[in-house]
Amino acid sequence: MIYFLSDAHLGSLAIERGWAQQKKLIDLLEKMSEDAVSIYMLGDMFDFWMEYYHHDKTKRQFSPFFKQLRRLRKRGIRIHFFTGNHDLWTFGGIEQLSGAEVHYEPCTIKRYGKLLYLAHGDGLLPRDWEQLYPKDVQRKIKNFIKLRKIFHNPFLQFCFRSLPPKWGNKFGYEWAKRSRMKELNHPCPYKGEDQEELVLFAKDQESRGNHRDYYIFGHRHIPLDLQLASGARVVILGDTFKEWTYAKLDDKGNLTMHTYE
């Protein structure tokens, strides 16, 4: 089996009893390990992750999670970690701590005769998105694109990494908390096939002849399994702090969604 999960947002100040959430995630990974060949984590496993030039002792809170990943690696299970928009600031640290293969960009893989497009999902838009959305939505998307460019700017990353971890973490975790509280208080449900950005992105890819059997995303915190007219399926994984949903691909190429109780 190949498993897919995303969006744990470990360390979030908005998640009560974070230690219990981390333990439940470890239990889920242990359950997956019973028949897993590979496990793909598609971004935002941490609510905020920055690797500073100075020692950051707060990373110790994630030691149980990393210990479990190393344990799975020793059993021969391949672990793939995709960066999201909350934990993109890794510069080798996550790979060293977990033994995972870290992916910084979306990728297409072939497994069990199926083509899978894997990505966290932030920043993915169809070519004609400005014609598809009203002005107010366009404005929000443009603001997010600007913010994403700031996050990915090498010079600004260097400046932030130079901060004392105490200062950087205070800013980063508080920023992420506001985002999480906004989501919890005002959740954004599925927008529909003609408005959901990741669905429109997949449709655009299909229309350009870039066919995949499955498009698998995180980011949106909604569980979705939608078949397109082309035959491709768009899967949004949900999350592993509230919905506790994930997907698995069996050796016949069948993808199914599951909830961890």
Q: Which amino acid is at 232?
A: A
Q: What pLDDT was estimated at residue 209?
A: 92
94's tokens: 């996550």
Asked if 252 and 244 count as a contact pair (C-beta separation under 8 A), the reply is no
Q: What is the CATH number of the domain that holds 170?
A: 3.60.21.10
- In this structure, the number of other CB atoms found within 10 A of the CB of residue 6 comes to 29
The model's pTM is 0.95
Asked if 121 and 217 count as a contact pair (C-beta separation under 8 A), the reply is yes
* Ordered alpha helix ranges (H), the chain: 18-32, 63-74, 93-98, 129-132, 135-151, 154-161, 165-185, 197-207
Which residue pairs from 180-187 have beta carbons closer than 8 angstroms and sit at least 24 positions apart in sequence?
A: 180/9, 180/12, 180/13, 180/14, 180/15, 180/47, 181/14, 183/221, 184/14, 184/242, 187/221
pLDDT tens for the chain, 261 residues long, are 999 999 999 999 999 899 999 999 999 999 999 999 999 999 999 999 999 999 999 999 999 999 999 999 999 999 999 999 999 999 999 999 999 999 999 999 999 999 999 999 999 999 888 877 888 888 888 888 898 999 999 999 999 999 999 999 999 999 999 888 888 787 889 999 998 999 999 999 999 999 999 999 999 999 999 999 999 999 999 999 999 999 999 999 999 999 998
Helix 18-32 vs helix 63-74: crossing angle, to nearest 10: 10
Q: What pLDDT was estimated at residue 140?
A: 85
Q: What pLDDT was estimated at residue 128?
A: 85
Burial class (CB in 10 A: 0-12, 13-18, 19+), 75: exposed
Task: State which residues form the domain around 210.
Answer: 2-259
* Integer CA distances (angstroms), 188 to 65, 80, 191, 215, 221, in order: 29, 28, 8, 21, 9
Q: What pLDDT was estimated at residue 181?
A: 87
Asked if 82 and 124 count as a contact pair (C-beta separation under 8 A), the reply is no
Task: Mention every residue, 6+ apart, whose C-beta is less than 8 A from residue 8.
Answer: 21, 25, 44, 45, 46, 239, 240, 241
Domain count, the chain: 1
- In this structure, the number of other CB atoms found within 10 A of the CB of residue 81 comes to 23
